[in-house]
Amino acid sequence: MAKPKKEPRPKAETPKGFRDYFGAEVTTRAAMLNAIAGVYHRYGFDALESSAVETVEALGKFLPDVDRPNEGVFAWQDEDEKWLALRYDLTAPLARVYAQHRNDLPTPYRRYAMGPVWRNEKPGPGRFRQFYQCDADTVGTASMAADAEICAMLADALEEVGIPRGDYVVRVNNRKVLNGVLEATGVTEPDQQAAVLRTIDKFDKVGESGVRELLGKGRLDASGAYIDGVGLNEDQAAPVLAFLTSKGGSTAETLANLRVAVGASEMGVQGVNELEEIASLLAAQGYGPDRIVIDPSVVRGLGYYTGPVFEAELTFEILDEKGRPRQFGSVAGGGRYDDLVARFTGQQVPAVGVSIGVDRLLAALHAKGKISGAERGPVVVTVMDRDRMADYQAMVGELRQAGIRAEVYLGNPKHFGNQMKYADRRGSPVAIIAGGDEFAKGVVQIKDLILGAQIAENATVEEWKERPSQYEVPRAGLVDKVRDILAEQS
């Protein structure tokens, strides 16, 4: 009789585009999100935790550049043959929640949400299929006070987590201003308007002269390839260039330049008026251009938003992978989107929100030295006598009740060296040692592992004697001595 074929063991590997998060990564992210949540809560926003799974119908058309159904999300059919998908952001679920529960929710409804989202896209360096978002939105009011409030709250959140004033700026623009500029060009054909928008989006890369060429006949790129232009004449291109170069030395100057760019466009004038109102409301609260500034160069995402749009940029320098200095760049973005809820209700519901790139902001905090890559481990109570386990548990219980992170070594206690290696691997600051002699004398040995490592690496024998890293204290003084050592380490 043939032997049953063994099934191959599964390969222990993370799926492509996903990653695992350990210890310090998880706790530092949680601490940062908790700090941001505190700011949002202070502004009167309520927490919302919506389902990670939505119907594909509710999610809507999530990627504007693809036509294949369900491309870009992780989707499947349930037992009723209804298509479901993991959420790809936190805004589409908010639209569904508000439409579904609007009769029970206050208007306007302010909510913040934090959690993972999933996108079935091609992964790359720093680009994962699962990542965290941190959003805050106000639904149900068209007042520019809501937009100003979101900008102020974003500035406060950045400062709360450790980005100092002067190292960031929140830039504000308005889709209506751009619509006014398009009106001023006389371009009405949708494909040509889309081409103008794509060209505007390249302003940071190619500058004013490059945009001028791309709006006209075209230009040669850095590789020598010729890129066809949009085909606008000089008069048509003039409002676009005026818009892109309208940033002035003051808010009043910028707004005046924008009014010239939009000309007689009613939509454009309305957009400039909204920006003026936002700037006035922010100034009344003490938020000047050093923190929040009107800046027409913010063009990303303008195809999605219907009004004001904003972006938080970190302005301090870091070194890239080749050691060259560069600015850190954007960590958050948002704006007004008045059409999203209408998909469910048939009626336009005004809304404005912001989304913080969690991983980007964490990377920025690492670069600023606000958080380290390592987390201090627990105090480790070593085991010298298996029969005294209850005594060791009593020690660790007292430490925990005092608010000190601690654990008893639960591996094989036969080799004490292995216990100390374990404590080192855990990043433990202190080890507690007690054997038969210590129990007989009513004392414990407390070893400062941080100081011990420093002395072993740098100090002479004389300095070792002057700075002991191990202390014998009465058993009753265990908690107080550990607390003192941890305070000195901090």
410 labelled binding-site residue: no
Does 471 appear as a known binding residue?
no
The answer to whether the beta carbons of residues 170 and 311 sit under 8 Å apart is: yes
Q: SS3 for 472?
A: strand
Q: What is the distance between the alpha carbons of residues 140 and 220, in angstroms, rounded to a whole number?
A: 47
Q: Establish whether 137 is an annotated binding residue.
A: yes
CB of 361 within 8 A of CB of 337?
no
CB atoms within 10 A of CB 298: 22
Q: How many CB atoms lie within 10 A of CB 8?
A: 6
State yes or no: 91 annotated in a binding site. Answer: yes
Residue 309 corresponds to which tokens in the numbers above? 């749009």
| CA–CA gap between residue 348 and residue 351 (Å, rounded) | 9
Check whether the bond before 108 is cis (ω within 30° of 0). yes
**Is there a contact between 317 and 335 (Cβ–Cβ < 8 Å)?**
no
- Angle, vertex CA 13, rays to CA 8 and CA 17, nearest 5: 135
* Distance in Å from the first CA to the final CA of the chain: 69
119 is in an annotated binding site: yes
Interacting residues of 144 by C-beta distance below 8 A, sequence separation 6+: 274, 277, 278, 281, 308
171 annotated ligand-binding residue: no
DSSP notation for 170-208: EEEEEHHHHHHHHHHHT---HHHHHHHHHHHTTHHHHHH
CB 280 within 8 Å of CB 142: no
Query: Is 133 annotated as ligand-binding?
Result: yes
Q: Would the annotation count 270 as a binding residue?
A: no
Sheet containing 308-319: which strands, arranged edge to edge?
A: 46-47, 109-118, 130-139, 351-357, 325-336, 308-319, 168-174, 292-294
- Contact indicator for 55, 83 with CB cutoff of 8 Å: yes
DSSP 297: T
- Is 290 annotated as belonging to a binding site? no
Among candidate residues 433, 441, 440, the one with its CA nearest the CA of residue 478: 433
Known binding-site residue numbers for L-histidine:
89-91, 119, 133, 137, 300, 304-305
Q: Residues annotated as binding site?
A: 89-91, 119, 133, 137, 300, 304-305
